[in-house]
């Protein structure tokens, strides 16, 4: 399974942008980059995914490096409800979503 | 309805008991998944069903037995579990097409005494 590397934890302030990095140097051409987050006492929740181009949705933006060896999840204006563990995952094949260690994001009021 | 519903939410069982976890979705999804999550760890994939057929088994011990009776329902039958099997068991579903996002339930917190 292709690996991703994320910082164990990050901290940010409410109403400020947050940039969550992810390295995936062994990514193959057909791997999609998925991001999920897990709030306390809940199952993981889909955030965003992309292949080559930058992507935006109502929750976040995903910036993918030109060589695809890294990506950054951007929360434009963090709220306290964004405190969670964020997982960057390479989706290989149709259905094998394998979670890495993730980044625990703390938001300060 | 965009929910994956798991029952029960909590379960305590002895090592000689037989119990089952249930997962249901009504989104018309054709792929369903079981994950196991220990405290402070990421979810670990156990099984994947695609169009009611078992497509992935991540070398899970036989004391865990999955079943997919129809496209909306997924069960996990538990027998002779060990205390180290205590964990949060998460169910997920996806449309079944290539690289679609997964929808997760809130999980069943299992304690084995």
Looking up tokens 């205390």 gives B83
Question: For all residues of chain B together, what is the average pLDDT?
Answer: 94
- Beta strands B10-13 and B108-112 are parallel
Q: What pLDDT score was predicted for residue B96?
A: 79
Spatial distance between the Cα atoms of B83 and B60, rounded to a whole number of angstroms: 16
- CA-nearest residue to A102 within chain B is B42
pLDDT in tens, A6-21: 999 999 999 999 999 9
Spatial distance between the Cα atoms of A98 and B45, rounded to a whole number of angstroms: 7
Binning chain A into helix, strand and coil, the percentages to the nearest 5 are 5, 50, 50
Disruptive mutation site among B40, B99, B109 for chain A (greatest number of A CBs within 10 Å):
B99
Mean pLDDT, range A59-72, rounded to an integer: 96
pLDDT in tens, A66-101: 999 999 999 999 999 999 999 999 887 667 788 889
pLDDT band at B97 (very low <50, low <70, confident <90, very high): confident
With contact defined as beta carbons under 8 Å apart, do B21 and B11 qualify? yes
């Amino acid at each position: 399974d292709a690996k991703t590397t994320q910082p164990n934890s990050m901290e940010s302030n409410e109403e400020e942008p947050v940039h969550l990095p992810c390295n995936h140097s062994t990514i193959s051409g057909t791997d999609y980059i998925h991001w999920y987050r897990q709030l306390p006492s809940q199952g993981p929740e889909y955030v965003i995914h992309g292949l080559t181009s930058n992507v935006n949705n109502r929750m976040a933006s995903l910036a993918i490096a030109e060589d695809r060896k890294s990506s950054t999840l951007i929360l434009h204006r963090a709220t306290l409800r964004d405190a969670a563990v964020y997982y960057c995952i390479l989706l290989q094949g149709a259905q094998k979503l394998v979670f890495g260690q993730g980044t625990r994001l703390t938001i300060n009021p | 309805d965009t929910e994956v519903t798991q029952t029960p939410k909590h379960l305590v069982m002895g090592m000689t008991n037989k119990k089952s976890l249930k997962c249901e979705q009504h989104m018309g999804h054709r792929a369903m998944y079981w994950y196991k999550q220990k405290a402070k760890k990421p979810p670990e994939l156990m099984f994947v069903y695609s169009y009611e057929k078992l497509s992935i088994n991540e070398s899970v011990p036989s004391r865990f037995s999955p079943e997919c009776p129809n496209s909306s329902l997924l069960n996990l039958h538990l027998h002779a579990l060990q205390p180290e099997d205590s964990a949060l068991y998460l169910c997920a579903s996806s449309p079944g097409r290539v690289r679609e996002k997964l929808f997760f339930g809130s999980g069943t917190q299992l304690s084995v005494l």
